[in-house]
Amino acid sequence: MIKEIKPTVFVVDDDAAVRDSLRMLLKSVGLPVEVFESGQEFLDADRDDRPGCLVLDIRMPGMSGLELQVKLNERHSILPIIFITGHGDVPMAVEAMQAGAVDFIQKPFRDQDLLDRINQALEKDAGSRRMLAERNMIRKRLESLTPREKEVLDLVVAGKANKVIAGDLNLSQRTVEIHRARVMEKMEAHSLAHLVRMVLEVERAEE
């Protein structure tokens, strides 16, 4: 869990009034907010790895909201995006959802609708960040394994018994048991099932 940085709502809208009104609304509910007048300005500010969510106007001159979404995906940003659309923008909104946006909301909107969506997005972001942090932790633990321990781990996760592993690696069964205990300890695994889940989690993310 990352606790030191408070989640921030980032607003990108080319319309000064819409942008400013959103800033005030979020301020009125005590949410930290930063506003940007273009997609490029947001990219240049390097905020996309910060916790929070992005409230993004789908229609902007220059870089459109959809283009910014593509660029953020390229940068592996996990920032959840809530698109603000005008009426008649449904096809664009569909495209945005297919590219991973969490939600969209049509202008003008009820403040509570937007705030609900923002809260959902922030929860999603917190969840994603927890998961990412966990994955990073698992990777660090995996990196702490010796090559031999790594070999033993792969075979354990593949469901092989100690005796089979000893045969495969041309080791004594006792040696395999020691490596295996070291792996459980280094990976901080409570059980075999826990160990398998951690390894699969990382493998799935790397596919």
Partner 1 sequence: MLDSAVDAIIVIDHRGHIEQFNLAAERIFGYRAAEVVGRNVNVLMPAPYHAEHDGYLDRYQSTGEARIIGIGREVRACRKDGTEFPCDLAVGKVQGAVPPRFIGFIRDITQRKLADERLRRSESELRLAQGLANLGNYVVHLDRSEPDYYSAQLCRILGIGATNDNVPLTALLQRWVHPGDREKLDEAFADLNSDKAECDVEYRVVLDDGSTRHLHHVAQVAHDANGNLLKHVGTIHDVTDRRQTEDEARQLQDRLTHFSRLSTMGEMAAGLAHEINQPLSAIATYAQACQRFVRSPTRDDADVLEALEQINAQALRAGEVIRRLRNFVKNREVKREPVECNRLLDDLRTLAETDARLHNVRLRIDAEPGLPTVSADPIQLQQVILNLVRNAIDAMAECPESRREVLLSTRRLPEGEIEFVVADHGSGLAPEAAEHLFNPFFTTKSGGTGLGLAISRSIVRAHGGRLWHTPNAGTGARFHFTLPAASASKGE
Sign of CA dihedral 107, 112, 113, 115: positive
- Establish if 74 lies at the interface with partner 1 (CB under 8 A): no
Candidate residues 1, 3, 4, 17; the one interacting with partner 1 per rule CB under 8 A: 17
Query: For partner 1, which is the closer residue by CB, 105 or 152?
Result: 105
Q: Is the peptide bond before 51 cis (omega within 30 degrees of 0)?
A: no
| Residue 157, CA distances (Å) to 132, 154, 183 in order | 21, 5, 11
**Least separation, in Å, of the C-beta of 118 and partner 1?**
13
Whichever of 88 and 159 has its CB closer to partner 1, that residue is 88
Q: How far is CA 40 from CA 64, 86, 128, in A?
A: 10, 21, 25
> In angstroms, rounded to a whole number, what is the distance separating the alpha carbons of residues 171 and 42?
56
Q: Is the dihedral of CA 94, 97, 98, 99 positive or negative?
A: positive
Contacts for 122 with CB less than 8 Å, ≥ 6 apart: 7, 9, 52, 53, 80
- Least distance (Å) from partner 1 to the CB of residue 48? 21
Binding residues with partner 1: total (CB under 8 A): 25
Question: Quick one: 108 or 167, whose CB is closer to partner 1?
Answer: 108
120 lines the binding site for partner 1 (CB under 8 A): no
Is residue 116 a contact point for partner 1 (CB under 8 A)? Answer: no
Q: Which of 32, 100, 108, 127 binds partner 1 (CB under 8 A)?
A: 108
Given 34, 37, 95, 111, the residue binding partner 1 (CB under 8 A): 111
Least distance to partner 1, CB of residue 87, Å: 7
Region near partner 1 per CB under 8 A, out of 54-62, 73-81, 119-127, 166-174:
54-62
Binding site for partner 1 (CB under 8 A): 15, 17-18, 20-22, 24-25, 27-29, 59-62, 64, 67, 86-88, 107-111
